[in-house]
Amino acid sequence: MSFLGDRRYGMFVHANIATVPAFAPLHEYADWYWAFLEPKPDVVLHPTCPLPEVVTWHREHHGGRPFDDFIPQLTFDRFDAEAYADLMDAAGMRYLVHVTKHHDGFCWWDATHTGRNAVRQGPRRDVVAELAAAVRRRGHAFGVYYSLLDWAHPAYPDRAGYVDAFMRPQIRELVERFEPAVLWGDGHWGHPGDHWRADELVAEAKASRPGLVVNDRFFASAADFAVYEYDVPAEAPEGPWELCRGLAYSFCFNQVERDEDHLQPREIVALLVETVAKGGNLLLDVGPRADGTLPEVQERVLREAGEWVNRHAEAIHGAQRHDPPGGGEHGTHWYTRTGDVVHAFDLTSSPEPCFGGLGGVVSVTAPDGTALAFRETDRGVAVDARAVERHPFGSRYRLRVAAAGAIRVRDAAPRPAGAPTVTSRLAAARPGDVVALAPGVYDAAAGEAFPLVVPEGVTLCAEAGTPLDAVVIDSGKSAAVQLGPGSTLRGVTVRGGAPGYMMIPPTCVTGGGDGITVERCALTSLLLSGGSGAVVARNVVSGGKVWLAGTRASTVHGNYQHGLRWGVGIEVNGGDGHVVSDNECEDDLCAIRLTGTTGARVERNRYRTRWFGIHLFGAHGTHLDRNRAEVTMRAVSVEGGSGTTVTRQFADRCDSGVIVERGASGVTVADCWFHDCRLDVLVWEAEPVAMPAPGAGRGA
């Protein structure tokens, strides 16, 4: 696994047939154009397809043109593999992964098993071979991406006709012909690993190419590294991992993305530093145009960030994760380690940074060797950096520590010795009892049995005046807390949970019945089912979701939810009379989704998510008022259902303000402000929308 540690920063190169139309709604993937245009198999996570935004765009710009008619325009006539290798060097990157076949089935090498390739059509050149040669001439590593999903193959996903007769021979050919350092799978989600014969495929590839590393997207029983997409995990993952993302919102080139939609150099540096500090690799994507050249903004930001990366390469490539990785109060201080040197990054470049969680510091120097004065304080190691140059992207300091000097900060004190377990206290509790917890970590090592079962009418909480992070319930890899009717969970941090996957978060806190309350807690995820009158208020939900299934008249208020990325932040399925108000959501595919509800009110929520802000699916009589969306594909999406009112909605830098589609009826949009959105209101296969004066934008 030395490859991943030695080369922490790489380039993803992603083009396919969709590079010709080069369009998706802002914040969506342009590489999925074909599936957004017409139905395709194994389309999950994305909004219901076809997407009206893409269908209307295609009709306006390309009429009824079939997707494959774009292939002759995929010329790559100005493609220069050496220019990509030059950009790698300038950016400070040391490996490249090329998308050799994406979901559209177009192969970028002279593929033996299909004529749908870049040598026989479109570019008329072996782009994979050219890139591999150019990258290796610079001493960098070359990897190949291959999508298991194939929308073009007539036998997909049949095991005999597609997996055995086509997919496996193609992967074998890629490995044998190009001898990659990395085999990067994708498009795996439609079927389990045994359908893909993943274990056999990976074993065969590794036998052919000793030292090959393989990601976790083949669904094989073992993988060399895990892949995260677009967001750095909130907590440092165990084992090797990689973050992949585009410079903007799409992997393939999207012509409607503006310069300001791209990561800026300072943001690239911050993303790389946090990723490496948490033990990961960063695979940052470029999306060529149909002629093979890169947009100027992509080259510019990579080169400008690269000046900083190359200057600090010793603390990036080959550096190890430090414990703690850093973070600081605002996520601006991060650490990596080489030998007895801790590389401390201050992304604010302050004149006297203070680095917490470190001890035993012997000396501090700037990267050029200049000795710096320092002192240990209650907050950490304060460094006097006034006399040295500090870069606006961030500054680095070399802290030499004694062998046992770097220490890990404990999250909470140990549970008091001799105290009865929470498990036993809850077992003896009766309705109306309060089980208050002193500061400490309550886990299996402390004798707890999980899930902790909170009986009907019992409150489980932290002692009065205890900080939120001082009481930690840590269940490891099992469900943590199970709430009974009328029970309350308050003022504690809950970690762990039974394993989840993608849009399904780990099971952390569950409950069922009337009158459950969860408030002022820090949680991974929450699932309440059945009953009425649930209250979920003022919690921090990190890496998971608030999920209400079959409840009635529930209140979700004042929560901060972030980080699931592949699903919904707050999801309500069924029931009537719900109130979802004053929540803040970010990082997910959808902030708030109501499915099959009646008479819900969704008010004063703030969100910044990828595809949906508020998504109503078959919901009736819903009132949306004074919600605020920023940098989200659809601020509001009304799919089916009836009687929705959208009032005083604010949408800033979204692709659309309101989408009304697929049979929705009785929708009213009034007194809204859509700022810098490509579309204001779009109605698709739905009844006309009422827009009383003053209007909500430029029309429907």
Range scoring the smallest mean pLDDT among 226-230, 232-236, 389-393? 232-236
155 and 274 in one domain?
A: yes
548 and 454 in one domain?
A: no
Query: φ, ψ for residue 461 (rounded to 5)?
Result: -155, 170
Q: What pLDDT score does 1 carry? A: 47
Let me know if residue 74 belongs to a domain.
Answer: yes
Q: Which helix (H) or strand (E) holds 304?
A: helix 296-311
User: Positive or negative, the Cα torsion across 368, 369, 375, 376?
Assistant: positive
300, 315, 330 — which closes off a domain? 315
- Token pair 């699932």 is found at 527
Let me know if residue 309 belongs to a domain.
Answer: yes
308 and 345 in one domain?
A: no
89 and 217 in one domain?
A: yes
Region 631-652 average pLDDT: 98
Cβ-contact 86, 11 below 8 angstroms? no
* Mean pLDDT for all residues in the chain: 94
Cβ-contact 190, 151 below 8 angstroms? no
Collapsing DSSP to helix, strand or coil, 219 comes out as: coil
179 and 49 in one domain?
A: yes
Q: What pLDDT score does 503 carry? A: 57
SS3 labels along 392-460: CCCEEEEEEECCCCCCCCCCCCECCCCCCCHHHHHHHCCCCCEEEECCEEECHHHCCCCCEEECCCCEE
Let me know if residue 519 belongs to a domain.
Answer: no
Let me know if residue 513 belongs to a domain.
Answer: no
Q: What is Dmax (Cα atoms) for the chain?
A: 76
Collapsing DSSP to helix, strand or coil, 348 comes out as: coil
- Domain at 343, CATH number: 2.60.40.1180
Q: Which of 356, 277, 285, 361 is nearest to 319 (CA)?
A: 277
Evaluate if residue 502 carries a pLDDT over 70.
Answer: no
pLDDT band at residue 231, thresholds of 50, 70 and 90?
A: confident
Evaluate if residue 377 carries a pLDDT over 60.
Answer: yes
pLDDT band at residue 404, thresholds of 50, 70 and 90?
A: low
- Domain at 142, CATH number: 3.20.20.80
Q: Which amino acid is at 438?
A: A
- Domain at 648, CATH number: 2.160.20.10
279 and 240 in one domain?
A: yes
Cβ-contact 182, 155 below 8 angstroms? no
Q: Which amino acid is at 191?
A: H
Let me know if residue 299 belongs to a domain.
Answer: yes
- Compute the distance between CA of residue 514 and CA of residue 552 in angstroms, rounded to an integer: 9
427 and 367 in one domain?
A: no
Region 193-221 average pLDDT: 97
Evaluate if residue 260 carries a pLDDT over 50.
Answer: yes
Count of helices and strands (H, E) across the chain: 11, 49
Region 435-440 average pLDDT: 96
Start-to-end C-alpha separation, the chain: 54
Cβ-contact 134, 51 below 8 angstroms? no
370 and 277 in one domain?
A: no
- Compute the distance between CA of residue 15 and CA of residue 271 in angstroms, rounded to an integer: 23
Evaluate if residue 163 carries a pLDDT over 70.
Answer: yes
Evaluate if residue 468 carries a pLDDT over 70.
Answer: yes
337, 367, 401 — which closes off a domain? 401
pLDDT band at residue 3, thresholds of 50, 70 and 90?
A: confident
Evaluate if residue 27 carries a pLDDT over 80.
Answer: yes
Bigger pLDDT: 489 vs 506: 489
684 and 590 in one domain?
A: yes
Q: Which amino acid is at 54?
A: V
Cβ-contact 10, 97 below 8 angstroms? yes
329 and 260 in one domain?
A: no
SS3 labels along 643-683: CCEEECCEEECCCEEEEEECCCECCEEECCEEECCCEEEEE
What domain range includes position 68? 2-315
Structure tokens at 175: 């490995």
282, 315, 348 — which closes off a domain? 315
622 and 486 in one domain?
A: no
- Compute the distance between CA of residue 41 and CA of residue 451 in angstroms, rounded to an integer: 39
Q: Cβ atoms within 10 A of the Cβ of 537, count?
A: 18
Q: Give the pLDDT confidence of 490-499 residue by residue, as tens digits.
A: 999 999 887 7
User: Positive or negative, the Cα torsion across 682, 684, 688, 690?
Assistant: negative
Which stretches does DSSP call E strand in 14-93? none
Let me know if residue 486 belongs to a domain.
Answer: yes
pLDDT band at residue 416, thresholds of 50, 70 and 90?
A: low
- Token pair 């952390």 is found at 508
What DSSP line would sit under 81-139, residue for residue?
HHHHHHHHHHHT--EEEEEEE-TT--BSS--TT-S-BTTTSTT-S-HHHHHHHHHHHTT
Let me know if residue 521 belongs to a domain.
Answer: no
User: Positive or negative, the Cα torsion across 575, 580, 583, 588?
Assistant: positive
Q: What pLDDT score does 409 carry? A: 40
Evaluate if residue 697 carries a pLDDT over 50.
Answer: no
Let me know if residue 242 belongs to a domain.
Answer: yes
The DSSP call for residue 180 is -
Q: Give the pLDDT confidence of 517-568 residue by residue, as tens digits.
A: 999 999 989 999 999 999 999 999 988 899 999 999 999 999 999 876 788 9
Q: What pLDDT score does 700 carry? A: 41
> Number of structural domains, the chain?
4
294 and 434 in one domain?
A: no
Q: What percent of the chain has pLDDT over 90?
A: 89
Q: What pLDDT score does 598 carry? A: 98
